[in-house]
Amino acid sequence: MNIDKDLVVRFHYTLKDDAGETLDSSDDAEPMTYLHGHGGLLPGLEEALAGKAAGDKLDVTLPPEKAFGDRVADAEQRIPVKHLGGAKKWQPGMTAVVHTQHGHRQVTVLKVGQTMATVDTNHPLAGKTLTFTGEVVDVREATPEELSHGHAHGPGGHHH
Ligand code: ZN
């Protein structure tokens, strides 16, 4: 089965930046699981996976504009510390999740006070050229429930 819209794909990956440093990898974890064609992955990554089958290798390099975009200057914002999600105590350099009306986004903590924090709203991977290498584990039909939710369920997918 070749990767196409509405199929559930599992794949292992290693993510490196343009300096060759490993940023993330699924090697010691469940493979990444997603529903193809529903915006679950970076568009450039879905493009590279389209048409592949189980056992096929992945090797794609995405410039910032196909990954998390360029870094924006003046992206500093002050927000209440209680709006930072992902940890109990914050230190400069940590990555936090902030929920906004447009969904959740990752930000980098710059300064932390008693009640307010200064964050950089650029995605931590903004401005980076990213290389994904890996292998497709398997490809299957999505269940009607997965299609109605627009994402994959089960190990590596969403849990409700
Ligand atoms: Zn769901």
Domains and CATH numbers, the chain: 7-68+127-149 (3.10.50.40), 76-120 (2.40.10.330)
**What confidence tens digit (pLDDT) does each residue in 24-47 have?**
999 888 999 999 999 989 999 999
pTM: 0.78
How many angstroms does the Cα of residue 53 sit away from the middle of ligand 1?
Answer: 24
How many angstroms does the Cα of residue 154 sit away from the middle of ligand 1?
Answer: 9
How many angstroms does the Cα of residue 158 sit away from the middle of ligand 1?
Answer: 6
How many angstroms does the Cα of residue 11 sit away from the middle of ligand 1?
Answer: 19
**What confidence tens digit (pLDDT) does each residue in 45-61 have?**
999 999 999 999 999 99
pLDDT at 145 exceeding the cut of 90:
yes
pLDDT band at 102 (very low <50, low <70, confident <90, very high): confident
Question: Mind spelling out the 3-state secondary structure of the chain?
Answer: CCCCCCEEEEEEEEEECCCCCEEEECCCCCCEEEECCCCCCCHHHHHHHCCCCCCCEEEEEECHHHCCCCCCCCCEEEEEHHHCECCCCCCCCCEEEEEECCEEEEEEEEEECCCEEEEECCCCCCCCCEEEEEEEEEEEECCHHHHHHCCCECCCCECC
How many angstroms does the Cα of residue 81 sit away from the middle of ligand 1?
Answer: 30
pLDDT band at 154 (very low <50, low <70, confident <90, very high): confident
